[in-house]
A and B are shown apart, each in its own frame.
Chain A
Amino acid sequence: MSRSVRYTLFFAGGALVAVLFVWAVVGMPSFGSNFHPYRDLAIGATIAHGTANAVSSVNFDQRAIDTLGEETIFFASVLGAAELLRPSKEEREAKREHGGMFRVMASTRFAGYVLLPLTLLIGLDVVAHGHITPGGGFQGGVVLATGVHLLYVAGSYDALERVRPVHLYEYGEVAGALAFVGLGFAGIVIAGSYLSNIIPYKGFGHLISAGNVEVLNFAVGIEVASGVIVMLAHFLEQAIALQGGPHE
C-alpha cells in the first residue's frame, strides 16, 4: 500500500470517526456537571472501609480483581521484553569491556550520590502511605526503580551492575505477584470471597488502617519496582554493554 493510498484511507476513516465522536459527545452530560452516580457509591464504600484515599480504595479494595489483571499484564510484558532482548550468540561472544570509560563531572556525581538515598526514601514513603495520601504501589514502584538508576547517571555502568544483580529482582517481581494472589486466596478462606478486605481496618487516616489496601500496596510496589528494574536492565544491556560504552 503506497503512502498516498494510506493517507487517503486515513482521512476518510478519520473524518467518519470524528463525526461519530462529536455526535456521541454532545449527547453526554456536559463537562463539570454534578451527575456522578458512581462517585457517590464509591465514596460511601471508601469511608465505610476506613480508607482515606478513595482512589487506592477503589484500586485495591473495591475493584482489586481489576488491579490483579493489570499487574498480570505488567508481568507478562516484562517477561515478553526480557525474552525478546536476550542477547544472541554473536552478541554474547562480542561483549566488550566497558569500564568507567567516560568522565562524569564532579557535580553530577555529587548530585547523584546525594539524591540516590533521598529518592529511595521518597519512593518507599509513596508506597507506604498509599492509603492516606496520593500515591500507592504503582507510582512508588516506578520512583524506586528510576532512583536505583541514578547510580548509572552518577557513576558507571559497572557500578550499576554490581549493585543490581538482575536475578534478585526477577525473584522480587514473582514474590510481589504471588503475594497479591495469595492474599486473595486468604480472602476466600477467611471471608468467603476472593480479595475481600480481611485485615482489620479501624482508624481513619492513620498509618495502620484500611486493611488489605496497605499490604496490597506493598506487594504491587515490590512487583512494579522489580519489573521496571528488570526491563531497564535488559534495555541497558542491549544498548550499552553489547556494543561498547558511549565514547563513540
Chain B
Amino acid sequence: MNDVVLVIALTLVAIGGTAVVMTNAPERQAVTLGVYGVLLTTLFFALQAPDVALSQLAVGTAFVPLMVMLAIRKIRGGRQ
C-alpha cells in the first residue's frame, strides 16, 4: 500500500518539477514553486521523514516564493 503512495508522490514531484521549469513568466513560477513545495512535503512524509517535511514546508511555501516575488517586483520597477 505504501508503495502505491510512494509511486504516486514521486510521479507528482517529477511532473511538478517539469511544470516549474517550463513556466515562462517568472511571477507565475513563484506560484508553481509554492505548489511544488507542497508536493515535495507530501513525498517527504511518505518517505518517513517528518523533520525534513516540516523544514521544506516552512521554507518552500512562505520564504522562497515571497523572495522571488519581491525580486521580480524590484527588477520590474527599477527598469521603468
Contact = CB atoms under 8 A, between A and B. Distances in A.
Touch between chains A and B, by CB atoms below 8 Å = yes
Interface of A: 53, 55-56, 126, 134-136, 138-139, 142-143, 145-146, 228, 231-232, 235-236, 238-240, 243
Contacts of B51: 53, 55-56, 134-136, 139
Given A146-B62, A239-B74, A138 B67 contact: no
B50 interface: yes
A95 B67 CA distance: 21
Nearest to B75: A239
A155 to B, nearest CB: 17
B15 interface: no
A235 B70 contact: yes
Contacts, number: 47
A236 B77 CA distance: 13
Interface size class of B (residues with CB under 8 A): 10 to 19
Contacts of A143: 58
Given A56-B51, A235-B74, A236-B70, 5 more contacts: A139-B54, A142-B58, A228-B63, A235-B66, A235-B67
A134 B54 contact: yes
A243 B71 contact: no
B74 A139 contact: no
Nearest to B3: A32
A46 B63 CA distance: 32
B19 interface: no
